[in-house]
Structure 1
Amino acid sequence: MLTNGLPKGTVPRLERPGPLRERVYEALLELITTRALRPGQHLVESELAGHLGVSRQPVREALQRLDTEGWVDLRPAQGAFVHEPTEAEADQLLTVRTLLEAEAARLAAANATKAGITALEKLCEKGEAAVGADDVDLAVATNAAFHAKVMELAGNSVLAELASQVDRRVRWYYTPVARLRGRQSWIEHRELIAAVSARDEAAATAVMRAHTEHTRTTYHEQAQE
């Protein structure tokens, strides 16, 4: 049940006024992508409404939208459940991610400024510290920020828009393997920074492709276990 599945303090009360339906949607999506609400978990409208401090109507509307987008499964006579991703779904998404991010790395090597490279280094330091402290949530968030920064340095708005469409799903798949990837992930990030700093487009592409493939492989190994 929901009350047993959410760590204490993970669900903030929603402030009013504002587009409540959108806020409820964003709150539930964040809980799903961070896996505070786990795949397969039963979502009870009344309990969600109580946690969020709202009525059941915006919760129902949010669940319907999440069902349409593939985050939630609405089952007749059973209710709503967090979607359980298949290995095929993960493979397809992470393959697309590799294509997008490899190109972003190439463009970042061509276009990054010193300030941009410094920003990547600071994020890398933050990520390494998170791994050292075994703070998985911070490591996942910093990993997402690092990849978003690479995308920003690429300077291609269309590529960035496409990447933003898969960003949350990438976080969803990355969270279960973040601890397994651990320090090695940030070693690979350091290698990418070196390639970008050297303006070596081919090396940056190869490093990013290998980096994202390692995540994909680790996810599948974890799923099989």
Structure 2
Amino acid sequence: MSQPASPLPDRGPSGRRTAKGSLSSTAAKRVERPAPLRQVVYEALAELIINRTLEPGQHLVEADLAEYLGVSRQPVREALQRLQSEGWVDLRPAQGAFVHLPTDEEADQLLSVRGVLEAHSAKLAAGNAKPEDIRRLWELQQAGVDALHEEDTEGLVAANAALHAFITELSGNAVLAELIGLVDRRVRWYYTPIARPRGRDAWNEHDELIHAISDGDVDAAERIMAKHTERTRQAYHERPEAPRS
């Protein structure tokens, strides 16, 4: 008994496989699909955790989150499982889900690594920056100063992240950018409670850093960024709600 033909694509005149029943040129463009609901819910919950609308240690009730986001409980459940695998949420047997409560050791490890990566990023940026790049750095600096004057914590966090991200971009090192990108969200999470207390000092340090990058002084840029990120690490440990020994 002969076997049914396998549904392989047809081959064109060149011998290459083509879609069975050739498609017209007007049908060749793929329709962009919206992100799956579970991805949208994951991103929404992650951002609520990062900006501390959902605070460390807070109990996360699926039904409440589903109602807040206007979705069913299933994508919320899937999102919480993913957040748990990434260390943002703790799932406790018979108790439910809770926003992860970071230890000082976890913060210290991440902020220390971030300092090493960003110091090297600043050094490379100082060697690469063009006049238009410097203008953009000053624009980002002004956005942070404006947020500081308005006592806008969310704006401060966003401006700080944008400035550091642009310096990373100026480094021209794709591997470095990828590594810094891996810790960016968690850095924002740790930075949120200290953004305003750290505010004026942080943006004065940014000012000094931009001048070093503008001057092409790679050693100064590296040194200033290292000092800047170290002061941020110290400020996190000295924040008002930090546990006392």
Using the size of structure 2 for normalisation, the TM-score is 0.84
Asked if 1:26 corresponds to 2:46, the answer is no
Asked if 1:108 corresponds to 2:125, the answer is yes
Deviation at 1:40, TM superposition (A): 0.3
Alignment equivalent of 1:140, drawn from 140, 157, 162: 157
Residues 65-87 of structure 1: per-residue CA shift (max 9 Å, x gap):
00000000000000000000000
Higher helix share: 1
Gaps of 5+ in 1: 1-15
The amino acid across from 1:75 in the alignment is R
Distance of 2:151 and 2:180 partners within structure 1 = 28
Residue of structure 2 equivalent to 1:153:
170
SS for the counterpart of 1:80 is strand
Residue of structure 1 equivalent to 2:101:
84
Distance of 1:221 and 1:81 partners within structure 2 = 25
SS for the counterpart of 2:91 is strand
Computing the radius of gyration from Cα coordinates, the structure with the larger value is: 2
Equivalent pairs, count: 210
Distance of 2:149 and 2:161 partners within structure 1 = 18
Identity %: 63
SS for the counterpart of 1:74 is strand
Residue of structure 2 equivalent to 1:207:
224
Distance of 1:224 and 1:182 partners within structure 2 = 22
Deviation at 1:17, TM superposition (A): 5.4
SS for the counterpart of 2:97 is strand
Alignment equivalent of 1:217, drawn from 224, 234, 243: 234
The amino acid across from 1:84 in the alignment is L
Moved >3 Å (runs of 4+):
none
Residues 117-165 of structure 1: per-residue CA shift (max 9 Å, x gap):
1111001111001101101110111000000000001111110001010
Deviation at 1:113, TM superposition (A): 1.1
Gaps of 5+ in 2: 1-32
Asked if 1:71 corresponds to 2:88, the answer is yes
Asked if 1:130 corresponds to 2:147, the answer is yes
